Amino acid sequence: MELRICIDVDDMDRAVAFYTLGLGLRVGRRFKSDFVEILGAGSPIDLLFNAPGTRPITSGPRSETVRSYQRHWTPVHLDFVVDDIDTAVARLQQHGAVLEMPVAERVWGRIAGLADPFGHGLDLLEFKGRGYDEILQPH
């Protein structure tokens, strides 16, 4: 089974720059001006242009919901593992990210919480030692 991550954006050029220049990923296929595939993470990321105010759901109890690219919370977010978290945070901020949780130390490494320019939350992780295995079997 393949996992593809779909991210709604309201400015395709800005989104492509954020995910390529900011995170070091690369453009795969450009299906149309409103659908660009981003490669280089563990799963492809599909950037999908959808205008603010449009409805993501056409029927059901939440069909009145409209897209907003202000900061929003959802129980799903993306974690990107980086080699140098301080450099990655600075680079993403240059491309419109908002730092919401400054870099913090954990037993497994370091973490920072950000929002992309479209209101989606994401975390940066910089592992040290055995990464998450440090939680399971501390030295």
What does the pLDDT look like over 29-39, one tens digit per residue? 999 889 999 99
| Cβ–Cβ < 8 Å for 114, 97 | yes
Distance CA 59, CA 89 (A): 39
Distance CA 41, CA 44 (A): 7
Domains and CATH numbers, the chain: 5-136 (3.10.180.10)
Token duo for residue 90: 């600075």
Residue 137 pLDDT level (bands cut at 50, 70, 90)? confident
Tell me the pLDDT of the chain averaged across its residues.
Answer: 92
- What pLDDT score was predicted for residue 138? 61
| Cβ–Cβ < 8 Å for 49, 13 | no
- What pLDDT score was predicted for residue 32? 83
> Could you give the maximum distance between any two Cα atoms of the chain, in Å?
53
| pTM (2 d.p.) | 0.88
| Cβ–Cβ < 8 Å for 71, 98 | yes
| Cβ–Cβ < 8 Å for 52, 68 | yes
84-93 mean pLDDT: 98
Q: Give the residue from 132, 118, 40, 111 showing the smallest Cα distance to 72.
A: 118
Torsion 98-77-79-120 (CA) sign: negative
Residue 65: pLDDT over 70: yes
Residue 139: pLDDT over 80: no
The lowest-confidence range among 3-12, 33-42, 66-75 is 66-75
